[in-house]
A and B are shown apart, each in its own frame.
Chain A
Amino acid sequence: MTERVPILQIGNVLLVSIQTDLDDQSVMLLQDELAAEVVETGAHGVVIDITAVDIVDSFVGRMLATIASISRLLDAQTVVVGMRPAVAITLVELGLSLGGVRTALSLDKGLRLLERARAESLEEPEPDAAAGPGADGVGPDAAAGL
């Protein structure tokens, strides 16, 4: 019985709010659909609201980390919002640090974090232009400077 979690689009941000205890197949479906939606809409941010989620095990944890890395590759940022304190404590003891996943305490803070991240990334030079002096990329010039 696969459940489909609705994906909302608000401006350039995709918003997902997990409201039920999803089985593993539904979790995988959500991961695939979110990746497809990021590509289709060109969204620059993904917000996953887990306020209503009372446990995050290694399967859901991996889904969160995977969505974060996929969106990064597609030039979008992921923020997980509303993680309960008991969930955070348990995740650490389980051994999942979710290092690559940005978190915010509320939806509002998550959206603001995305706005700021977007503004900062637009100020940076394009990756193509980053091989010149002063860039921290490992282009030929950077190597010559050693």
Chain B
Amino acid sequence: MNGASSASQTLEITANAGVVQARQRVRALAQQCRFSLVEQTKLITAASELARNTLIHGGGGTMTGGLVEERGRRGVRLVFDDRGPGIPDVDLALTDGWTSGAGMGLGLSGSKRLVDEFLLETVPGQGTTVTVTKWAR
């Protein structure tokens, strides 16, 4: 689990309610980190997309979130982790509008734009881990 702070907490995302809880958890973290309203909104929206992917495409998993401090900056880091089918073609999955299902195909590409750091690790047949970080301005 890369770089989540010691105070980070893990949340199970195994049903629709987990996606709602993920949004609430991330809102609390963003407020703790004193994000502006716009930064807060961007991070919660990204988290909502990634949590839904964990549930729908990954077959359920976890979100681990916490505050991080690096080189004098403060931010929020979220790790979405599942043991689902993985993503065979990452470039395709990151294309605006591309969906393997019935979605809008904006979750991965859109959430990448909404955060400062975006790391997608996936192994077909083994699972997917998406780590995102947003720094306070």
Question: A21, A22, A59, A85: which contacts B52 (Cβ < 8 A)?
Answer: A59
Q: Are A93 and B113 in touch, CB under 8 angstroms?
A: yes
Q: Are B45 and A94 in touch, CB under 8 angstroms?
A: yes
Q: Are B110 and A93 in touch, CB under 8 angstroms?
A: yes
Q: Are A58 and B49 in touch, CB under 8 angstroms?
A: yes
Main secondary structure of the interface of B (DSSP, over half): helix
Q: Please, how many angstroms separate the alpha-carbon atoms of A95 and B41 in the complex?
A: 15
Q: Is A146 an interface residue (CB 8 A)?
A: no
Q: Which of chain B's residues have a CB closer than 8 A to the CB of A33?
A: none
Q: How many A-B residue pairs have CB under 8 A?
A: 73
Q: Is B69 an interface residue (CB 8 A)?
A: no
Main secondary structure of the interface of A (DSSP, over half): helix
Q: Are B41 and A54 in touch, CB under 8 angstroms?
A: yes
Residues of A within 8 Å of B, CB-based: how many? 24
Least Cβ distance of A56 to chain B in Å?
7
Taking CB atoms and an 8 Å cut-off, the chain B residues in 9-34 that contact chain A are: 16-17, 19-20, 23-24, 27
Q: Are B20 and A21 in touch, CB under 8 angstroms?
A: yes
Sample of 12 more A-B contacts, CB < 8 Å, known A54-B27, A62-B104 = A23-B17, A24-B19, A24-B52, A25-B16, A56-B45, A89-B41, A90-B38, A93-B42, A93-B114, A94-B111, A95-B97, A96-B110
**Interface on A for B, CB 8 Å cutoff?**
1, 21-25, 54-59, 61-62, 84-87, 89-90, 93-96
